[in-house]
Chain A
Amino acid sequence: MKFFDYIRFALKNIWRQKLRTALTIFAIIIGATSVVAMLSLVFGAKNAILGQIEASGALTQVNVTSSTDTSNSDLFGGGGSGEHSGKQLDDAFAAQLGKMTHVTSVTPVLSVYVFNKIHLKDSTDGKDYNFNQVQSFTPSADTDKKLAAGRNLISTDKEGKIILGSKTIGKMGITDPKSIIGKTVVLTTQKGFSGEGATIPKPPDFSNGPQSQDDQQAFQKQQQDSVTTLEAEVIGVTEAGPSEDTAFINLAWGRGLLAFQMWGQDPAVMEAFQKQQQALQQQQQQNHQPNSPQPASQPPLTLIKTDQVDQNGYDTLQLKIDDAANVENVATDIRKLGVGAITAKDTIATILNSFKIISLVLGVIGAISLLVAAIGVVNTMVMATLERTREIGVMRACGATRAAVRRLFTFEAAMLGFWGGVLGVLAGFGLGKIANIFAASALSGLGSSANIIQVPPWLALTVIGATTVVGVLAGMYPAYRASKMNPVEALRYD
């Protein structure tokens, strides 16, 4: 028997039992489709995310953190763990880094963790949405974000200008990013906010005698619970991507928001006050006026402001590197200075690793469904050998060797696997197309790339190859049975 005869006969034979063949193939289709759909979704998502990282300029970026333990940080989280165990990231250090070779710019970044809620000023639904990730930096060409609408920050946008993340406005129920540009949002701070713009309640005046316990507690509670609402104009909305839930503001504003203000005794005021007191006392002693009214025991309180950056430095220094190839070298050099340096390499490795795990899990699910399909193939082929026992006898009488009979049935099983794979890949491809249409309409407003699901040719060929191999393996036992039949008994079989 020639090679093409096997294919021809196998095709003809599987088509004899149309319904059974269709059902068997259908089981393989389900397996192949699920493998294709799941893996292509994973690959598509992986490529989309890596593409966004590349587009965001992260590949030429190094984030310097004060903490050398950068295991929990990535390029997009701001790296602000708040633990400044290492060197302080101040302006002097930033200038030092700026002088390094390959470093084209240094941008100080502060995470502004004072906000809690956000809503549109002119919204009528009365809902407030969670809002806490805000980054501030000095705007420059190197800090420009990929925007779905609006414009980037410029250095003159000191206060009250904000760029929102696409996910954030999505949460707020806004589908068209353009519609929010120029609108005012109301930002509610967390309790106890004491930065710029806050109304700091003045402690009760106890110069006229000791204050009561209740008064003191009431004041403390007032201070702890005080929230401030600030307004900002939305000037831009970022694209979907790694930082889609982060808002951006100017460093000048962020620094002000992070400042710590409280009523207290200004040392200068205190000194002046004490001098004044002494002068008064001397005057009283000279004048021998012991019964004159007592002077105030406390000087007037002033609002004292502490700048966080002066105290602790910046959270992160964002470095732009001239070429992606130099990024790792620069990062290594910077780590020698006793600070942490985060590059996209770690982030990408993390992403690739998580996708590897997802692929593995989905691959196992696919393998199980193919195994179930394989059992169907075994069943079908065993049935076929029983039904065609007499035919096997005739073939043997006509000169078919055992090997020819075995190969013929193996080819039939392979054919079931092959067609299951082909149709499964087509179905997976079709599902991917449909999913892309849905994804495109869901993401169109955010300017994201629509081809989330991709079926790479090698995946299609691998799946078809795999189902064919599954068919061959599943057909081996039935084919062996068929080949071992005694032709004399096979011819007598009813």
Chain B
Amino acid sequence: MAQALIELSGVTKTYKIGDETLNALDNVSLHINAGDFVAITGPSGSGKSTLANIIGGLDTPDSGIVTVDGEDLSKVSDKKLSMYRNKHIGFVFQSFNLQASYNSVENVMMPLVFGKVGNKERKARATDCLKAVGLGDRLKHLPNQLSGGQRQRVSIARALANEPSIIIADEPTGNLDSARGEEIIELLKNLNKNGITLIIITHDPNIAKQAGRVLTIHDGKMSERAN
């Protein structure tokens, strides 16, 4: 067994919605190895996004320990957590979350700006990433000049820009037709083959089927089955 990249032990997260307390994660423990392809499934509101956000350093658990690459994320400063997101994580969102007034290159450059990469290198790396996702001819296009599939490719290029070790994709095909969805999943799978740890949150059993591991969350409780 390869060395665990991501290690969660006893992670609990609750939300208060009105008077009700929602157990988004209830004592979840797991480890993910470098290079794994993990699918997280479960019904809406089951806590799968919370799990992904905690792994991605966007959210912190109420209790429990999250360790990524040997570093405990549950107690670090905002600056360290932000740097972790910047260097290790690439996020891909269902609704792409591209900046409408920025062209493809500028959108992809975003993590590089926060990573204090020089201006020239930013452009070069953003261009390379866009070429890698097959958008070498769409560098100066604004998001509204691109199709849905192309937009998600820009979003993936942005996730790749800082050469992260982990990509977290939250319903990446949710806003695409099945053919475009297939292409995106293929693209992500290729990245995984090149060594990037891939975590996909999905409803789609067809996508879950392709993952090496499938984690199912139900009312904050996690269960796992291997494909």
Contacts and interface: CB of A to CB of B under 8 A. Distances in A.
Chain B associates with chain A:
yes
Interface of A: 1-2, 5, 9, 12, 16, 390-391, 393-404, 487-488, 491
B99 A399 contact: no
Nearest to B118: A2
23 contacts: A2-B116, A5-B113, A12-B101, A391-B99, A394-B93, A394-B97, A394-B99, A395-B110, A395-B114, A397-B56, A397-B58, A397-B89, A398-B91, A398-B110, A398-B114, A398-B158, A399-B82, A399-B87, A400-B82, A401-B114, A403-B78, A487-B58, A491-B58
Q: Counting chain B CB atoms within 10 Å of each CB, which of A390, A397, A403, A404 scores highest? A: A397
Contact of B116 (A1, A487, A488): A1
Contacts of A1: 113-114, 116
B110 A401 contact: no
Interface in B88-105: 89, 91, 93, 97, 99, 101
B202 interface: no
Contacts of A12: 101
Nearest to B117: A2
Contacts of A401: 78-79, 82-83, 114
Nearest to B84: A399
Interface string B49-87: 100010010110000000000000000001100110111
Contact of A399 (B59, B93, B97, B162): B162
B111 interface: yes
Q: Counting chain A CB atoms within 10 Å of each CB, which of B49, B91, B115 scores highest? A: B91
Contacts of B162: 399
A17 to B, nearest CB: 10
A397 B91 contact: yes
Given A16-B101, A391-B99, A491-B93, A397 B85 contact: yes
A314 B110 CA distance: 86
B114 A400 contact: yes
Contacts of A491: 58, 93, 97
Q: Counting chain A CB atoms within 10 Å of each CB, which of B49, B79, B99 scores highest? A: B99
Contacts of B87: 399
B78 A402 contact: yes
A396 B58 contact: yes
Contacts of A399: 82-83, 85-87, 111, 114-115, 162
Contacts of A9: 113
A391 B101 CA distance: 11
A488 B114 contact: no
Pairs A-B, 6 closest by C-beta atoms: A399-B86, A401-B82, A399-B114, A398-B111, A397-B91, A394-B97
B204 to A, nearest CB: 21
A491 to B, nearest CB: 7
B101 A488 contact: no
Nearest to B102: A12
A145 B59 CA distance: 83
Contacts of B83: 399, 401
A390 to B, nearest CB: 7
A12 B113 CA distance: 14
A274 to B, nearest CB: 115
Contacts of A404: 82, 114
Nearest to A402: B78
A446 to B, nearest CB: 58
A398 B93 CA distance: 12
A488 B58 contact: yes
